[in-house]
């Protein structure tokens, strides 16, 4: 009797299950798993290189989704549709948490294991991740020297240049403050988006007004907190990256020529939305 019940529960006797896919698309075909699962080519053949490749590929997939959501949120804010933007930005924060946990998996790679295949990487490095650069651009962090890395691919270089010169998430958030009647300096509203954003007193005063009048500026208050969430998670991602690198290679130079841990520690001091952090002290 028990065996009969187990047979019914295991799904084998489910009459509605499709088994003939001669003329129908399968799960694997929809996801193009043949391409996805055959894109892990170990150059060294070392067992642990598989971990290294997959962690970085998974992170790139998550970053693709972060860009998809962030760019759509930027457009929604420009269109004065803040509620739609909130859903997208909340999703970005959840994605960021997934990328952070990926470092926990990579940290199981020991220095001795990494040394077995590190030389096969040549000068390839996560420092060259163009999607990560586009995320930085979308958040307003613009560094001109990084564009040189991508000159090898003219189409990609053009795509990065467009993102580099486009308004970022914080730019459209500041414009939303202005649209709500809060005073923002014209120099900020009409600034050159290719330049790194610098803190401005009028922006700080505008956010201060939002936080002191939450009921009046409820949507802007929600927007501010979504931005803080994203920066908070990004800095946690940067910290876990730095500690994982330190754990595996110490203070060696990165494969891409950066100072490695030294560079990663330095970028931890950068703030994307400075006024939103400054007002916390003054409130």
- Average pLDDT of every residue of the chain: 90
Please check whether residue 30 is in contact with residue 47, taking contact to mean a CB–CB distance below 8 angstroms: no
Question: Is 68 labelled a binding residue?
Answer: no
Q: Is residue 230 part of a domain?
A: yes
Q: Kindly tell me if the per-residue pLDDT of 218 is higher than 90.
A: yes
- Domain containing residue 264: 46-281
Instruction: Tell me if 52 is assigned to some domain.
Output: yes
Q: Is 80 exceeded by the pLDDT of residue 153? A: yes
Q: Work out how many domains the chain is built from and give that number.
A: 1
3-state secondary structure of 124: coil
What's this model's pTM, rounded to 2 decimal places? Answer: 0.88
Say which residue, 7 or 211, is predicted with more confidence. 211
CA angle, corner 66, sides to 137 and 254, nearest 5? 65
Q: Does the annotation place 26 within a ligand binding site?
A: no
236, 203 contact by CB (below 8 A): no
Domain membership of residue 207 (yes or no) is yes
**What pLDDT score was predicted for residue 145?**
82
pLDDT at 250 over 80: yes
Residue 249 annotated as binding? no
Would you give the distance in Å from CA 139 to the centre of its chain?
10
| Other CB atoms within 10 Å distance of the CB of residue 61 | 15
Average pLDDT over residues 127-137: 91
What b/e string do you get for 29-55 counting C-beta neighbours within 10 Å, with b at 16 or more? eeeeeeeeeeeeeeeeebebbebbbeb
Q: Is residue 259 predicted with pLDDT exceeding 80?
A: no
130: annotated binding-site residue?
A: no
Q: Give, for 157, the enclosing helix (H) or strand (E).
A: helix 154-165
Look at residue 257 and tell me whether its pLDDT is greater than 70.
no
**Residue 94 in domain:** yes
Query: Residue 74 annotated as binding?
Result: no
191 labelled binding-site residue: no
Determine whether the annotation assigns residue 66 to a binding site. no
**What confidence tens digit (pLDDT) does each residue in 30-56 have?**
999 999 999 999 999 999 999 999 999
Does residue 53 have a known ligand-binding role?
yes
Q: Is 114 annotated as a binding residue?
A: yes
Residue 2 forms part of a structural domain? no
Output the domain CATH number for residue 118.
1.20.58.480
Residue 26 lies in a domain: no
Instruction: Tell me if 40 is assigned to some domain.
Output: no
Residue 22 lies in a domain: no
């Amino acid at each position: 009797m028990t065996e009969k019940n187990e047979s019914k529960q295991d799904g084998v006797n489910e009459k509605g299950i499709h088994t003939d896919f001669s003329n129908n698309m399968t799960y694997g075909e929809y996801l193009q798993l043949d391409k996805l699962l055959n894109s892990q080519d170990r150059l060294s053949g070392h067992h642990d290189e598989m971990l290294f490749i997959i962690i970085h590929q998974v992170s790139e997939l998550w970053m693709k989704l972060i860009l998809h959501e962030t760019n759509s949120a930027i457009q929604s804010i420009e269109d004065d549709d803040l509620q739609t933007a909130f859903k997208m930005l909340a999703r970005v924060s959840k994605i960021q948490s997934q990328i952070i946990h990926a470092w926990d998996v990579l940290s199981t790679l020991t220095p001795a294991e990494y040394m077995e295949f590190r030389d096969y990487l040549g000068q390839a490095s996560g420092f060259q991740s163009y999607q990560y650069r586009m995320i930085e651009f979308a958040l307003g962090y613009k560094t001109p020297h990084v564009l040189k890395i991508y000159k090898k691919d003219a189409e990609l270089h053009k795509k990065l240049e467009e993102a580099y010169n486009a308004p970022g998430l914080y730019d459209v958030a500041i414009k939303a403050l202005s649209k709500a009647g809060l005073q923002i300096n014209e120099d900020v509203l009409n600034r050159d988006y290719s330049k790194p954003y610098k803190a401005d007193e009028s922006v700080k005063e505008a956010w201060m007004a939002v936080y002191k009048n939450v009921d009046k500026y409820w949507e802007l208050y929600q927007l501010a907190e979504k931005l803080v969430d994203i920066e908070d998670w990004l800095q946690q991602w940067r910290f876990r990256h730095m500690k994982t690198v330190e754990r595996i290679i110490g203070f060696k130079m990165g494969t891409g020529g950066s100072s490695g841990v030294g560079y990663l520690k330095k970028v931890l001091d950068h703030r994307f939305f400075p006024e939103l952090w400054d007002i916390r002290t003054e409130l």
